[in-house]
Structure 1
Amino acid sequence: MVFIEPRRLNEKHYFIKKNKKKVLDISNAFDLYENDSNIVICHLSDFHFSRYFKPQRINRVIRSIMDIAPDLIVFTGDLIDNYEKWPHKETQRLVEKLNRMTAPMGKIAVLGNHDYRSEGYYFVKTVLSEGGFTVLENEEIFGSNDEVSINIAGMDDCLSGNPKFSFERTLAQWHLLLVHEPDGVLDTENIQNFDLILAGHSHGGQVRLPFLFYKIKGSITYTHGLYLLGKKTLLSISNGIGTSLFPIRFRVPPELIYYHLAKKPAEVEQEK
């Protein structure tokens, strides 16, 4: 079972209103909310590609993205497990797989601590860029379609990079923050300025037993799932796709998350 579960893929769908009082899990009926949302965001994290987890392992992820057709794709770090041990013959195939993920509003990524291992920073950033991702390092990017505007801030890795914990609020209708380690929010200023914060890193513990939940630095306080920070800021932590240390998972299957943002955020914000 522990060796089979890493090959599963759990697809989640959340319907999110501006005020966050209720986040709906619509995984079993997300098509019913198509007319109630004006942007769908796909959240990927922690691929940890290696000699044991090769690019063809994400074919189901690609098929899901092709089926759902999200407006925006975001990746919250740890593309490869360890640059020193990376099989370079797989690099071109990895770039090809990343390019097969498409979204009209673009693809945004931040780096994780494993992306820095063995001086892999430049390699990972190049692969992501060639795969069509814009890599944010303490930067912000603005995007919009015919119905909604969104500002996305991307924080550099908190363990191995040089993170910036302060970002300006803009006039966009929705504000997103991408971080790799979820505990990075503990040092982030004006956290209430963000509607949605997306993170990875923890793998949801990777192995979860009633008497055991493995925690790692960077996700001690916030470990998995959803957290409401203040009144209107939602932190969502992905279990990720790959594995680290050991190629096993138990009761924490790989996870692909879609966020369906509600229409008319300005009106929803006034709800009591």
Structure 2
Amino acid sequence: MRMSIRHVTSYRYDSPVQYSIQQLRLVPVSTPSQVVVDWDFSAPGKLDASIDAYGNTVRTLVLMRPTTEISFAVRGEVDTTPLRDGRLLEGPGRIPLEHFTCATRLTEPDDAIRALASRFDGLDTPARLLDLAAAIGERMAYQPGITEVGSTAAQALALGQGVCQDYAHLLIACCRTLGLPARYVSGYIDAGDVSQAASHAWADVWLGDSGWVSVDALHARFASEHYCRIAVGRDYDAAAPVRGMRVGGGGESMAVDVSVGGRCDQ
């Protein structure tokens, strides 16, 4: 499938920002399961390129002039490959699998998470992983505006509501409780017949002979050709599309406009 993606993020401030630095993980990389056809990145200043520890492409924007608005945009096309049972066409990767078994602040399990995970002791197949995603869906309802980017998996489960980030963190927390390596994925989804679209988050879980299995916990399905991967990490903090700091500016408002479309090759 060829996915066409456009993503514009704009910040406006009540007073001039004197200094700003933004780390942007908004550039996909070509992998065995996706090929970047073209990708353009526009920003109000020079972008320094680097690769982080997880292999994600990072663009760093530094502004040292007063401004009341910062806007950047990406657009491009990516060819994606259908996956069998969500199995990625790649090996363990550059980082030891044990790194992805360690809890983080956002994925630290509590008693409720341990109880949920215990129902899936011995999980070792992609089908069983989907069962876990479905069980998470039975405990949580999709509801924007209830949680924040800093909300933990335990908090989301206690609330019984959240967004794709929360579903991904909860799946990761359960898998790590079971001793399975799991990593957070940020990217885009071509919605198709589901209701939540565009910017998205899901998870990869290492299942031994099956390798990395990519699962969208929100929709309880395997992530396949309708998904474009942008960044991975142990949790949202390591794979966030935008992270930064500023000096000045006062109050801040943010607007995000994302559109994703896909077409199958004939």
Structure having the larger proportion of residues in strand: 2
TM value normalised by structure 2: 0.30
Which structure shows the higher helix fraction? Answer: 1
TM-score, normalised relative to structure 1: 0.29
Greater C-alpha Rg: 2
Query: Which structure's relative contact order is higher, taking Cα pairs within 8 Å and 6+ residues apart?
Result: 2
